[in-house]
Every structure is written in C-alpha cells, then in structure tokens.
Amino acid sequence: MDSSEQRNVLVTGGNRGIGLAIARAFEAAGDRVVITYRSGEPPEGLTGVKAEVTDSASVDNAFTEAEKIFGGPVDVVVANAGITRDTLLMRMSDEDFDAVIDTNLAGAFRCARRAVTGMIRKRRGRIILISSVVGLYGSPGQTNYAASKSGLVGLARSISRELGGRGITANVVAPGFIDTEMTAVLPEEQKKAYLATIPAGRFATPEEVAAVVRFIASDEAAYITGAVIPVDGGLGMGH
C-alpha cells in the first residue's frame, strides 16, 4: 500500500483483548495505527498514547498526540474501550451504573466528537463503535452495560444523519461472546449456559471481530452507515 492510501487509525483500549486484535489487523493491512492505553507500556510493535475515556481533556490530548504521530487527522476511530460492572438491578449502585455509562457510552461520544473535526475537513472518516449483542438482546445482571451498549446505536445513527453527506460513516459492531479477559472471569456454569444458546456453538476469537471492523473501515463499505453489524454466531438474530 502506498503512503497516500494508508489511513490513520486510532483504537481506544487497544492494549489488550478485542482492541489489540483490531489494532493488529489494521497494522497488518498497512495502515498507520495508534492505540490508547491507560497504564504500563503499549504492546510490542504498536504506538500508544495514554487516554482515559471518561475524561474529555485526556481524550483531546490523546487525539492531539496521535495527530502529531500521524502528521494529520484521524481517518478511522474505533471506540472500543469498555467495562462491565454486573449485578442485579435491585443491587446496582448509582456508581456502578454511572461508571459503565461514562466509560462505554460517554467515552465513545467523547472520541467521536473529537474525531469529527478532522474528518469533516478531510471529507472522509469512519467511526466504529464497539457495542455488544447484549445492547439489543438484554441480559440479566447487565442493565448498566446493556443500556450503555444500546445507547451507541442512537449515537451512531445520529452521527450518520448529521455527517453522512460529508463522507463520514458511523457504525456499530456488536460482538457476541469473544474469548478475552472480559469473558474469562465468567463462571463456568454461565459460560456453558451461553454456549447452549449460540447457534455457532462456540465463542469467537478477537480476530473475527477485528476482520469485520476492518471491512467497515474500508472504502468498499462507504455505503454502510448507521448499521448494527453483529459478530455473534447468531446469538442475537432478529434483535
């Protein structure tokens, strides 16, 4: 790929899990990639900038640093950073609810808001929000998480309507159960119960999500916007 075709890709929470697989997939395709991380060192071979997505100033700084590294605006932003704080509704504290909304939903909003200035100038851009099958399917014990993830659908669709005419697409990728640290902590019994409901009969790898994100970011996907693309082995069909 010659350097004029390379895109500037920023992946939040790209130091591990699905975000890391996404970053590696873009890099393998020849794009320029910067990941955000919060502590320690960025993974080997990847350029990282620090970002705390609950803090607008931190997001702003991360983009400014990334733009310096790229030598231009971000073309593709993947809002991937996310957390869970699962518990039953009756027991859920305000803090558990707010922390998940602030990270998963408001964090994606902060990144999209910061990203669009450069995208509007370039008249091209890809905003990809990592949601979850749970956003539209619902899940007991995850009222905060599901609310944050379904909120991303309204966010992406509104961005699509606002900026669709400027060469910018905004889409939601909704993974099902993916083998990462987030799902490694689930009790065995719960994992078995989930497996029984997934038509594909298995969990996915982070690379399977990364491949879809890369497609949505490609020129070939220019006419896909405001969509919710499931990568869930059929778990959420019809939702």
Ligand X SMILES: NC(=O)c1ccc[n+]([C@@H]2O[C@H](COP(=O)([O-])OP(=O)(O)OC[C@H]3O[C@@H](n4cnc5c(N)ncnc54)[C@H](OP(=O)(O)O)[C@@H]3O)[C@@H](O)[C@H]2O)c1
Which residues are annotated as part of the binding site for NADP(+)? 13-16, 80, 145-149, 178
Residue in 80, 82, 85, 88 with CA at minimum distance from that of residue 97: 85
For ligand X, the closer CB: 67 or 179: 179
For ligand X, the closer CB: 107 or 125: 107
E strands of 131-227, at which residues?
Answer: 168-175
Token output for 117? 């200035």
d(CA 54, CA 164): 27
Q: Which of 137, 145, 194, 223 is catalytic?
A: 145
Min separation Cβ 152 and ligand X, Å: 9
∠ CA 108-111-112, nearest 5°, is: 85
Min separation Cβ 112 and ligand X, Å: 14
Q: Is 145 a catalytic residue?
A: yes
**Contacting residues toward ligand X, per CB under 6 A:** 12-13, 15-19, 37-39, 51-54, 80-83, 103, 130, 132, 175, 177-178, 180-183
| Cβ neighbours for 188, distance < 8 A, ≥ 6 positions apart | none
Min separation Cβ 119 and ligand X, Å: 21
- What does each C-alpha distance from 10 to 3, 51, 192 come to in angstroms? 17, 11, 35
With H, G, I as helix, E, B as strand and everything else as coil, classify residue 60. Answer: helix
For ligand X, the closer CB: 19 or 118: 19
Min separation Cβ 105 and ligand X, Å: 10
What residues are annotated to the active site?
145
